Structure 1
């Protein structure tokens, strides 16, 4: 046995980990020595632990959390489990890189006094449809002014309109929109959004959204609407909307409305301030979800679809609605705790 063992110093040289790192992974239960001398407390490692140590070193270099490294090591003989963990971490890294690009682009715009103009070209029909799809979720709290506007988030990949009041979130993608100029995230006041909904008509043809510094200009046909961007950072909605729920339920909207009308209502107390509120109780198999009936009806109206897919992660996770065939579009509703 002793001949097949190596000390902590030799394992450090063979694996690329430092001695202090090996001691740390021992304490964390990630890489426990095969044997520890009871008198000197010296750590000894087996031949097979060299590969494990090299694996830990590589996974740590790409920032994988210790819990996931432990899962990889525990299931290293099960390729399906290992592949799932590696894919999930790679997706997080790619999302993080996209986030970093957006943040650096925003930082650059703050450092450069005169940023180039960004123009978003779409159709009036597509813009109005997207605007109607998010308008219901715009906040009204004057204490959170950034939520009282609509976010236009544009980069080379897509253009999204987003609104949230903390209890609801709506995202719509402008399919086929073209962006000229640098990526931009601009919050426009709801007054400009309402003016567009009230005065623009779908038959106006092409529409251009121009962002020039603090000025936002909508041009469609012979109509030109102007507003000033709101000087505030919109919440990072992308971190909230990533991925799908653990369970997906396909619903017919007409039957779902009937279910909602017949669903029982329960009075519960808010965990934040103890205030009483009415919760409509929806049942999906063994899962009961409490919702604000009015908010849910508004989200259904905004979706304007005959079929929806509901993402469910349990009674305290947001209820997410997606229309089939509209990738990236969703309406999200925070549940009301029933217990």
Structure 2
């Protein structure tokens, strides 16, 4: 079925929350990158649920949620509520067809290059750049032929990124290191927190000239 452009845009401004007994999944995308995180609930009751929440409503809750020992997420007619220490934040649900992120993940081919790099060092190297070229070789990664960073992993490749998109993926990651899984220069690159595999971001590369 056809989807109006304004409806598609509204959906992309939302966070998808999938609730199930074994895990809770959060997904966000803007066409150029896709971020997903799964967490295991300490308890679950009721039926599995799926809802879209405007990102603007949820973006300011991360620190508030992190400050609590136990947080409860309750689905309600027309939305949901996050409860912590007796305080409640209401979330409004939005109707719409969210991109089939599972199909995207399942369609990724095995990586030809897989390396772990220090997240802070890579983030700093992206400062002041617009499009950046990565040359990955055994033991190191060069950015624009200038900055050289140590890496651990396998494979060699050359690939380009919009620096701001990759920087945002690094900012959202946790831990000191990130894992980069590169399938091909024109395919989404998987960025994972090296010590927290439940947080994954896909970043689209860009074509390099020359």
Pairwise same-fold verdict (TM > 0.5) = yes
Matched, 1:281 2:112: no
Given candidates 247, 263, 279, the residue that maps to 2:113 is 247
Instruction: Report what 1:233 is aligned to.
Output: 97
Decide whether aligned partners of structure 1 residues 142 and 280 sit closer, same or farther in structure 2, where only a CA change above 3 A counts. farther
Higher percent of residues as helix: 1
Are the aligned partners of 1:260 and 1:282 in contact in 2 as well (CA < 8 Å)? Answer: no
Decide whether aligned partners of structure 1 residues 143 and 231 sit closer, same or farther in structure 2, where only a CA change above 3 A counts. closer
TM-score by length of 1: 0.49
Given candidates 35, 40, 43, the residue that maps to 1:178 is 43
TM-score by length of 2: 0.76
List alignment gaps of at least 5 residues for structure 1. Answer: 1-140, 266-277
Given candidates 188, 192, 198, the residue that maps to 1:318 is 188
CA–CA distance in structure 2, aligned partners of residues 335 and 325 of structure 1 = 24
**Cα RMSD (Å) of the superposition?**
2.4
Given candidates 147, 168, 171, the residue that maps to 1:301 is 171
State the SS of the aligned residue for 1:328.
strand
Higher percent of residues as strand: 2
List alignment gaps of at least 5 residues for structure 2. Answer: 1-5, 138-155
Given candidates 123, 128, 148, the residue that maps to 2:13 is 148
Q: Deviations over 1:128-151 (max 9, x none)?
A: xxxxxxxxxxxxx87510111111
Instruction: Report what 1:330 is aligned to.
Output: 200
Q: Deviations over 1:96-145 (max 9, x none)?
A: xxxxxxxxxxxxxxxxxxxxxxxxxxxxxxxxxxxxxxxxxxxxx87510
State the SS of the aligned residue for 2:116.
strand
- Within a 5 Å distance, the mapping from 1:12-23 to structure 2 comes to none
State the SS of the aligned residue for 1:327.
strand
Instruction: Report what 2:28 is aligned to.
Output: 163
State the SS of the aligned residue for 1:157.
coil
Decide whether aligned partners of structure 1 residues 195 and 321 sit closer, same or farther in structure 2, where only a CA change above 3 A counts. closer
CA–CA distance in structure 2, aligned partners of residues 151 and 324 of structure 1 = 24
Decide whether aligned partners of structure 1 residues 234 and 142 sit closer, same or farther in structure 2, where only a CA change above 3 A counts. closer
- Equivalenced residue count is 184
Decide whether aligned partners of structure 1 residues 180 and 279 sit closer, same or farther in structure 2, where only a CA change above 3 A counts. same
Whichever of the two has the greater Rg, that structure is: 1
Moved over 4 A (4+): none
- Within a 5 Å distance, the mapping from 1:21-36 to structure 2 comes to none
